[in-house]
Amino acid sequence: MIKTSLLLCAAYLSLAVQAAASDSPCTGFQFTNDTAAQSEEFWVNASDETIKACIAQYGVDALSEDGSQPLNLAAYYRKTSTIVEHLIQSGADVEHRSELGQTPLLEASFGNGSTRSIAALLEAGADVNAQTPDGWTPLLFAARDNPKPADIRLLVDAGADIEAMAEDQFSGTPIMWSILNSNAAITKALIDAGANPDRLTPEESTAFILALNVKEYQRALLLIDAGVDPLNGMSPDDAFSYVSQFVSAYDRPPLKLIKAMLDTGAIQKPEHKGELIFSVLKDSYPNLDRQLFELIMERKLTIADPKGNSLLVEAIDVELSAQDIIRLASQGADVNRHSAPKNDSLGKPEWETPLTRAAGLQDEDYALSVVRTLISASAQINRTNSSGDTPLHEAVFRGNAKIAKYLIQSNAQLNLRNAADDTAYTQYIRYMTFSKKPIPPHMKSVLKKLEAYR
């Protein structure tokens, strides 16, 4: 019984000691894995007087579970420099490393604390180029995580290696890692400090390529303004791939960025120019991006239609002006190339030529201007679509009398039959008879010229 009582007393005493410890103003002063949240709370929120009292009690070299000393923790957490300076004046080791190899300056470079803390550590002789085991320096950490340009300037002025390279997901110098920083002013500070924006990593990447990959387009423009070569580290196909993605993207980057890449040779093949124009046209509903269209058109390259598609059919579908259509044709767009086959409801492939598409448009005045343009550019007047319809078939069937008359005047063959064995005349009469519609007055003169070809 006595033994049991003694054990209970010991247990109560232990709990009392633990409770007293948890109520201690120094709880969290030394970091442990089990008290990580308490330690952060202590070092962020405890008063300077409380922390000084804890330093007096436990010493400037008190070790935490992760090997940190008070100076490491103060450098990382404290928003003012008071405790950092107090520890330095009290003899704390400015080069003490935690188990992760972090010195106080490396901790301070993350930017949670004050700029003055970094200055105090440097004044006390901290190594500005100290490295973690995997090569990270204070400037590298600051470039990636620190939102304060003043800290960047302070480290650089103290002799930080501005071209140091560390590896994480990829190799990178400070200017490359700054692309991942939420504050673009960090990138600007490094540029102003003389960082090489064209530096290639072992993976042959650059800060500009990284900015494109993470869609930091304003950061990419900063680099362009700094004189970066946009195509450095890119193959011609890679460069075209980026521009192609930009042109077709919903969240398209600034035109200045696309122009910079085009100006330095991002497209070097006629088919590349054709693909970009096709993308602009395809994505132009309800309005053409005229600036982007002109930016691509002014490239000193001929145009080749994209594989399996017709630029001019797409241009007609979005009602590009006749003047622009003739520009496309004059630069190489094929006036006779048919559109990509698309299956109808029965699975039968359908396609149109530029001239058959234009001849059947509802807006006859626009359509006539395009038909005139295409024929003047040597479009084959009798070339058929997938149904065997000629431009004349399409014009007559749609009731486009002006176009039909122009095609007849331009020597279109009047007796050609489509896949249903209809001439332009018989196809129209068959349709009007089936639909029980009267012949419109404006079509009668056209039909008179065609009635011999039943």
CATH of residue 408 = 1.25.40.20
Q: Which domain holds residue 426?
A: 305-454
Instruction: Decide if pLDDT at 6 tops 70.
Output: no
Q: Give the pLDDT confidence score for residue 17 in this predicted structure.
A: 38
Token pair listed for 18: 């633990």
- Measured CA to CA, the distance from residue 178 to residue 257 in angstroms comes to 19
What percent of the chain has a predicted confidence (pLDDT) above 70?
94
Instruction: Say how far apart CA 286 and CA 382 lie, in whole Å.
Output: 32
Q: Which of 33, 27, 84 is nearest to 57 (CA)?
A: 27
The DSSP secondary-structure symbol of 439 reads P
Q: How deeply is 353 buried, as exposed, middle or buried, from its count of CB atoms within 10 A (0-12, 13-18, 19+)? A: buried
Q: In this structure, what DSSP letter does residue 287 have?
A: S
Decide which of 9 and 76 is more confident: 76
Residue 31 lies in a domain: yes
- Tens digits of per-residue pLDDT, 215-235? 999 999 999 999 999 999 999
Assigned domain for 195 exists? no
Residue 16: the pLDDT is: 38
Average pLDDT over residues 391-402: 97
Q: Please report whether residue 138 resides in a domain.
A: no
Name the band, by pLDDT with cuts 50, 70 and 90, for residue 344: confident
pLDDT at 14: 39
Does the structure show a pLDDT above 70 at 245? yes
Q: Running DSSP on this structure, what letter comes out for residue 305?
A: P
What pLDDT shows up at residue 23? 61
- Give the pLDDT confidence of 73-100 residue by residue, as tens digits: 999 999 999 999 999 999 999 999 999 9
Q: Is 167 helix (H, G, I), strand (E, B) or coil?
A: strand
For residue 375 the two structure tokens come to: 């024929």
* Residue listed under structure tokens 């100006």: 263
Task: Answer whether residue 29 is part of any domain.
Answer: yes
Our count of domains for the chain comes to 2
Residue 30 lies in a domain: yes
pLDDT recorded at residue 249: 85
16 assigned to some structural domain:
no
Q: Mean of the pLDDT values across residues 389-412?
A: 97
Is pLDDT of 8 > 50?
Answer: no
Q: Which of 47-56, 74-83, 371-380, 429-438 has the lowest mean pLDDT?
A: 429-438
Query: Residue 453: is its pLDDT beyond 50?
Result: yes
**Domain for residue 108, yes or no?**
yes
**Do residues 275 and 241 touch, judged by C-beta distance below 8 A?**
no
Query: Residue 215's pLDDT is what?
Result: 93
Question: Quick one: 45 exposed, middle or buried, by C-beta within 10 A (0-12, 13-18, 19+)?
Answer: exposed
* 247-293 pLDDT, tens digit each: 988 888 999 999 999 999 999 999 999 999 999 998 876 788 999 99
Residues near 198 by beta carbon (within 8 Å), at least 6 away in sequence: 206, 228, 229, 232
| Cα distance between the two ends of the chain | 123
Q: Of 106, 127, 148, which closes a domain?
A: 127
Enumerate residues 6+ apart whose C-beta is below 8 A from 118. Answer: 105, 108, 109, 138, 151, 154, 155
Domain-terminating residue out of 127, 147, 172: 127
Q: Looking at the predicted structure, is the pLDDT value of residue 65 above 60?
A: yes
Q: Is 171 helix (H, G, I), strand (E, B) or coil?
A: strand
Does some domain include residue 81?
Answer: yes
Percent of the chain with pLDDT strictly greater than 90: 84
The per-residue pLDDT of the chain, averaged, comes to: 91
Residue that finishes a domain, picked among 127, 158, 177? 127
